[in-house]
Amino acid sequence: MKNNTVDAFSATDIFSSDFMIGNVGAPFVMGLAVGYFAKKMLLITLFLSGAAIVLLFVGEYYGIAEISDINLQHAANTATDAAKQSGDFLVKRLSGITSKGVSAAGGFFVGLKLG
């Protein structure tokens, strides 16, 4: 009888280790991993995009290609909008993991900071 009382109490006790790990710890770690991965992928994408732009500038210098500043700015704006939508999607998806969604979203932002 005491075992059932303890189990029922630990399921409703917000400071119990079972509650904290399941509702705070695990979603935080998942958000941390997703944020860390997202920042690393963003950095790799920025590196490769910068290399491509430099190659285009070199090609323009040697007369191989012609680059319009307006088209270059439009491409940069499109890429920025895609990155914003991707980040919003990840935070929205992580927020749905727990009832409050705070720990997963917090982990995501910590992962972005660490990455």
* pLDDT of 25 strictly over 60: yes
State the maximum Cα–Cα separation within the chain, in Å, rounded to a whole number: 85
* pLDDT of 35 strictly over 80: yes
**Residue 77: pLDDT band with limits 50, 70, 90:** very high
* pLDDT of 110 strictly over 60: yes
b (16+ CB within 10 A) / e for 55-70:
eeeeeeeeeeeeeeee
Q: What is the pLDDT at residue 19?
A: 54
**Residue 100: pLDDT band with limits 50, 70, 90:** low
Q: How far is CA 13 from CA 5, 7, 16, 42, in A?
A: 12, 10, 6, 40
Region 56-78 average pLDDT: 91
Region 56-61 average pLDDT: 93
Please give the model's pTM, rounded to 2 decimal places.
0.69
Average pLDDT, the chain: 80
List the domain boundaries for the chain: 2-114
b (16+ CB within 10 A) / e for 87-103:
eeebbeebbebbeebeb
Provide CB contacts within 8 A for 19, sequence distance 6+. 10, 11, 13
Q: What is the pLDDT at residue 12?
A: 58
